[in-house]
Structures are given as C-alpha cells and as structure tokens.
Chain A
Amino acid sequence: MNTLRITGGTVYDPANGIDGIVRDVCIADGQIVADVEAGRTINASGLIVFPGGVDVHTHVAGGALNFARGLVPELHRAARTFQHGAMPPAGGRAGAAGSLRRAGLGGVTPTTFATGYLYAGMGWTTVNEAAVPILTAKHTHEELHDTPIVDKSCLLLMANNEIVLDLLEAGEVERAQQVVGWLMWAAKVYGIKAVNPGGVAAWKWGRNARALHEPVEGYRRLTPAQIIAGLAGIVDQLDLPHPLHLHCNNLGIPGNVATTVETMQVLEGRRAHLAHLQFHAYDGEGWDSMRSGAVAVAEAFKAHPQLTADAGAVLFGDAVTITADGPWQHLLYQLTGRKWGNLDVENETGCGIVPYVYKDRSVVNAVQWAVGLELLLLVDDPWRIFLTTDHPNGGCFWRYPEIVQLLMDVEARRAQIRKLPPAAQQRIMLGDLDREYTLSEIAIITSAGPARALGLPQKGHLGVGADADVTIYPAKPDRDGCLFSYPRYVIKGGAIVVEEGDVVAVSDGREFVVRPVYDDGIEDYIRPLFEQVYTMSFENYPVEIGRLRRPALMTLAAKRR
C-alpha cells in the first residue's frame, strides 16, 4: 500500500470545519484515510496544509485556445520555457523513476504539458475547461489528455446551438432536453455552458443579442431570456452535478449591470453558475463614463442564494481574450485595432480571439481590475464566489497568487489604487473595502467552494475518502513576496508531484465525464437534421469513450418528475 503521512502542519479544510488546526493528514492509495501505520512522512511543521486548488473556469485546451496560441508568437518568445528531460532533482532526491518532463512554453497561452506543470506547480490539482463545441471536442480531449497531473472536466457550449434553439423556439422543451442529453454524451463532457445566449447565433447575421426579452436575430419568438431559462431548466431536469454555467449577455459593455441583474431574475429559483462576473458588473453609459457596478451586482447576487459565480478578475499585463462571444470580440478588436481572430463553428457556436494588454494607466482597465476584487470582497459568503481570471482573458492562471495577496492585504490594494489614474479612482469603491480574506476563506474560494459548485464531492477537502490532492504552502510570504506562489509540496492522488515549487514527478490526470439520461431514440430526430446542415458525416460526430484515456465516468440516474 502506498502511504503518506503529513505531520505537524496547520490544516485548513473548511469543508470539514477545520480552520487552522495542527493535525496529521494521512493518505493511502490515493485517498485521504483516518490513519496509516507506515510509509513516508512529510514534516509540515510551520507549514500550512490546503486541499488542492480547483479552477472552476479556465480555457486550457481546444480549437479556440490553439487558434490563440497561433495568433501570439510574440508572447511565446517572451514566455517561460520548459525543457524536455528528466525531472530535476529536488530536496536531494532524484525525480521519480520514469518521470520525464516534456518540453513546452508557459506564458499567456501555455502549451498543454506546460499547463499541467504550471497548475500543479502552483498547487492546483483540478481544472474545468469551460468552453467546448461538440465539433472540436475530439481535439479538446486530446489536449486535455496531454495536460498532465491535474484532473479535468469540460463544459459543452449550448446556448447558440441551432438544433436546440429551434426546439426552444417551437416550445419543444422536452425534446430539447433529450437532444441536450444526447449532445453531451456525444461530446463526453461534464456540464453545460451558455455563452451570450442567442448572441453568437445573431452574430452570424452580423448582430448581437443585447436585450434579454427581444427575439434573437433569425428567430420569430425566441429570446435570450427563454434560452437561459430553458437551458437552466434542462440542466436541472437532467440533474447534472454542475448547474448551468452562464456567460451572460452584454459582456464587457458599460452599463451591463442591468443585464446581469435581469439575468438573475430570469433564473429565479433555478441553479446557475455565473462565469467571470467581473466582466458583467460595469455601470455607466459608455466608455467615457464607465464605472464600477460591483455593488449593484453583488447585492442582486446575494439575494439569489441558488447562484454561484467566479470572479474573472483582471490583472495588469498581457492577456489574450478568447471567447465564443464573437460580437463582443469584434467590438474589442475595433477598440484595440491590432489582431483579431474569428471562427464560425458551423451550427453550434462561434469564437473570437483578441490579444489584449491591461494597462494600469487606462481608466477602463483600472476599473476592470478593481471590479474583480470588489466583487470578491463584497460577496461575503466565500462559498458562492470563486477565484478565477477567466484564464487567459483577464490574466494568466499562474498569476492567481497575486490576487490572493491583494485579497488578504488591504494595504497592498491601496498601494495599487494610488498608482491608478485619478479618474479611475473616482469610479471604483475598492478603496472603501477593509475586508481581508482569512486563510480559511482563501481555501474556500480556491478549492472547497469551486469543488462544491462543480459537484465533485471527492475534491476540495481533506476528509476521509477524499482524493488525496493536498498542497502544502510556506506560512510566510515567499521569494516573490506573494503567498502561495511556490508550494513546498503538492500531492496529487497521493503522489508527491511538486517539491519546493518544482515539478518532480508527472502523472496523468483523470477526466470527469457525465452520462446523462436521455432516450436513445432521439438520435433518429437529430440525424436527418444533422445530415442536412453539417459538413461532416454523422458517424464521425460523437467522441467515442475509448478516445478518453482516463475517463472518470459519472452515470446519472433518471430523475423522477
């Protein structure tokens, strides 16, 4: 039996009510157990012990990200490199036998292998790729397989799928649910993502969906509100572990607070996860008057306890914006005037890519920076809002420790605020917020909370039976002055994968896949529609389960009506 005991560390395990207690954590065969008798011991005296980080919303694999990688050669030249070779010896111990590190590039859009090394090197052990079209799902799974160490899941883009929208337009919600179930299993995904509902479909006519209660371009009756409510209902009926993952309409546009609050009203009573809330919390009438709308969004969010959200925080510096939200990306391209990529994914969705630099001397960017932090500080229940940057949209995931530092240190925030343009300082309220996150709250927003929102009971905690994903940090700020940049140890599935911030062993992560309940007969309905409009043959469309090399299958039971 492969066992490990972590002794003497101060443990933060908020899911089990443990807030900074010195106790042992025992591991056997990849799981947390009550006790072990022999085996290796890690002395964690003076260190802090967290459950491994869980990223609820990131973009690390697939067609869109690969397009982005190709669009920014200048950023690759400046990126951190990972060289092919055996693991570097760490702590006087050579890397585990057979552990070979693959070459790769870090930077703003890391390559697949580097993505795994960078997440693990920071102490994150589970990531959720948030946007997959069915048409490129095979590619996404191939890349996720080549993203080592971390466990993965991915979400299917659904709010602009023309077969589904046609059914919702016709009021055939029951059949739409069957189709969604079939499509999910065809793509081998974990949940459902809705991006700018109706807006990407409208973009194919050169339009957007700006108003929630007006028909979408190309449809007679169907509105974005009906798509949102319809999909949220379908997700609930299918009983998916993760609620509808929603990128609201009007992302990035000043004055979008109204749309975001209205969306919460449309969702009334239904579960949903609001992605990258920062991009949906702007007040003002235009770019000249744009200001923080975090207070209004946070208040509305608090009044809808069935919702969760992630921050989508922004950090100053290089980013690449990648989203299915094609019309927004065209607007952003017009604002930046540099590069723009646009993809049409047949009848399913679209995609836009614009490299972007967030500058602290830009009033708009400064407001964006503040809004992300304001939301994290204003929503006082850490179980409902999680740490993300919508990587690589608001900043790179490997910069999360910088956000943690800002959340834990009011003086660090104020020092940054003082550097912002005076006009920006008047449009934010971050300076008025005194809240400082505790270590326990950090453990919630980086691990326990997102694991719970994803519906992964074995993740985000250190109770008996949990996956042995453990991160051990120094208790004091490290070489960068940032807490959490360089974990002393990261343990993934019971194996030590990182020591002193360096990857010392590489394992393959698993991929979580949900098998929803649907009537197999629905294929007879989809096939002729598909053969009419798609460019590929129907047989080549679904991803076979055998293509996923380490699937962790979750088969759902039929829900009683």
Chain B
Amino acid sequence: MITLTLVEQPAVPLEAEVVRPDVVAGLSAEAIRALPVFLGRRQRRLDDFFRVEGDGGDEIEVRGDAGRVKWIGRGMTRGRIVVRGNAGMHLGAHMAGGAIEVLGDASDWVGAEMSGGLIRVQGSVGGQAGAAYRGSASGMRDGTILIGGSAGLEVGMRMKRGTIVVAGRVRDFAGLQMKGGTLVLGGGAELRTGAWMLRGTIISLHPIPLLPTFAYACRYVPTFVRLYARHLQALGFGLPADEADGAYRRYTGDSSVPGRGEILVWSPRGD
C-alpha cells in the first residue's frame, strides 16, 4: 500500500490524475515521488505536495484535506483508493473499475462519465455526480456512486446505466436528460427532477415537486425495487420495499421530450 499525506496545501487546485492504482502499481516510492502533477500551468512533482510512504501497490491512501486535489482516481480500472479527508473535483471521473472511498466530502463531477467500479463518499458532494461532461451524449455508463450526505445540481445528468444513491437531499435538475440507470434520492430533491428524461428510474423517498410533464400512473411496489433493496442493503443503504409500510407512486415522463422514464415517490401507508 502507498500512503500520500498532503503536507503542502496547493494555493490553486492541483491536478493529480496520477493518483490511481493503474499508475502507481509496480512503481518504487522514488518513482512515485517524481510523478508529474499540475499546479495551474506549471508541472510539479507529486512530492512537492505529498509525503509519499510505502511502495506502489493496488491500494492508495490519501491523508489530509485533499479538497483542492482534482482528478483523484481518474480513469482507474482496478484497485482501491481511500481518501481520509475531502477530495477535490472530478474524483473517479472516467473510472472503469476498482473502488474509491472518501471519508469526508467530495466536490463536483464525482464519477463523471464512469463506466464501472464503486465510489462511496461518506460526506456530501457537489454537482454533476455521474454526469456527462459538457457536450457528451452520455454520462455514467455503469458502476455505482453512493453518497452519504447531500449533492448539488444535475446529479446523474445524461446517465445511461449504473446506480447513484444520495442519502441526503439533491438540488435542481437531478436526472436531467437521463437515458437509463437508477437514481435514488434518500432526502428528496429541489426543482425539475427528471427534466428531459428519456428512460431510467428515479426513486425518491421523500415527496418532491414534479414537472407538469410527468403523468401519474399508479401506486405500487415494483418487483425490481425489492431486488434493488436487497442489493443496496448489502451496500449499507435501506430502501423501503414492504407493502406493509407503504408503496411508490409512479409518474412517467418527461412527456416534453417525449420520454419513457419513471419517477417513483415513496408514500408511507396512510399517507
């Protein structure tokens, strides 16, 4: 295992896409220290900012407040990264496999355009988690993003497959132009959830304001939700799926596109 301890807080965000198992595995500590990072337009060495201990392996531990360190785990395909603090923007963007665990908060674009693997953030994240970068046709294509706190704008924008679970509240435009996959909102959402949605599922455990272009269909507990609940239980997230407790109100849309997506809103028994 390799441990990176942030000793020099960068004055501006530091671009450190080398912090991923695919790059450091097999490198000596000396080689890892010399890896290039970018501070603005200047190329610097990793050890200008981090104390590097241990030899390269498939596990990386980042210590200190890395809230200004961008691109951690970019495009990683294997191994594991643990960030014992905050992580900066683009955490795990384009990642295809492996796992990232953040004990603090992360910033915008967590898991953007990822195609596999697991990202778990215990705190809150910024906007565009699992989203498509500007101009791209699709966002995350597979994999799982679990967020313990809240999230910002455009979570799951244009996502095509995979799962995003946010335990807290999200802001506007969750699931914007969503094409597939599942977005679970444990703490509800602000405005325009599912706007331009084509396909896919948004599950909200709290009542949310819905666009007029979503039509009410029925109240039930879909079979797949029971399967999903078991899957998420294993990941530490409870999803109600017992008819004794209540049911989901199903809305379809966004008919302005027109789309065939669904929004399931949990409604407890007696509600």
Contact = CB atoms under 8 A, between A and B. Distances in A.
A338 interface: yes
A552 interface: no
B223 interface: no
Interface of B: 133-137
A74 interface: yes
Contacts, number: 13
- Would you list the 5 A-B pairs with minimal beta carbon distance, nearest first? A73-B135, A74-B135, A74-B136, A73-B134, A72-B135
Q: Please indicate which of the listed interface residues A71, A74, A75, A338 has the most CB atoms of chain B within 10 Å of its own CB.
A: A74
Interface in A49-75: 71-75
A93 interface: no
A77 interface: yes
A74 B133 CA distance: 8
Contacts of B134: 73-74
A75 B136 CA distance: 8
A73 B133 CA distance: 9
Interface in A320-347: 338
Interface residues of A, number: 7
Contacts of A74: 133-137
A77 B137 CA distance: 13
Contacts of A77: 133
Interface of A: 71-75, 77, 338
A338 B135 contact: no
7 contacts: A73-B134, A73-B135, A74-B135, A74-B136, A74-B137, A75-B135, A338-B137
A74 B137 CA distance: 8
B95 to A, nearest CB: 16
Nearest to B138: A74
A108 to B, nearest CB: 12
A220 B137 CA distance: 45
Given A74-B134, A74-B137, 11 more contacts: A71-B135, A72-B135, A73-B133, A73-B134, A73-B135, A74-B133, A74-B135, A74-B136, A75-B135, A77-B133, A338-B137
A73 B132 CA distance: 12
B42 to A, nearest CB: 13
Contacts of A338: 137
A71 B134 CA distance: 10
B26 to A, nearest CB: 27
B55 to A, nearest CB: 31
A72 B137 CA distance: 11
A181 B137 CA distance: 45
Nearest to B132: A74
Nearest to A355: B135
Contacts of A75: 135
Contacts of B133: 73-74, 77
A392 to B, nearest CB: 16
Nearest to A70: B135
Contacts of B137: 74, 338
Nearest to A338: B137
A73 B137 CA distance: 11
B43 to A, nearest CB: 11
A71, A72, A77, A338: most-surrounded residue (chain B CB, <10 A)? A77
A76 to B, nearest CB: 8
Contacts of A71: 135
Nearest to A75: B135
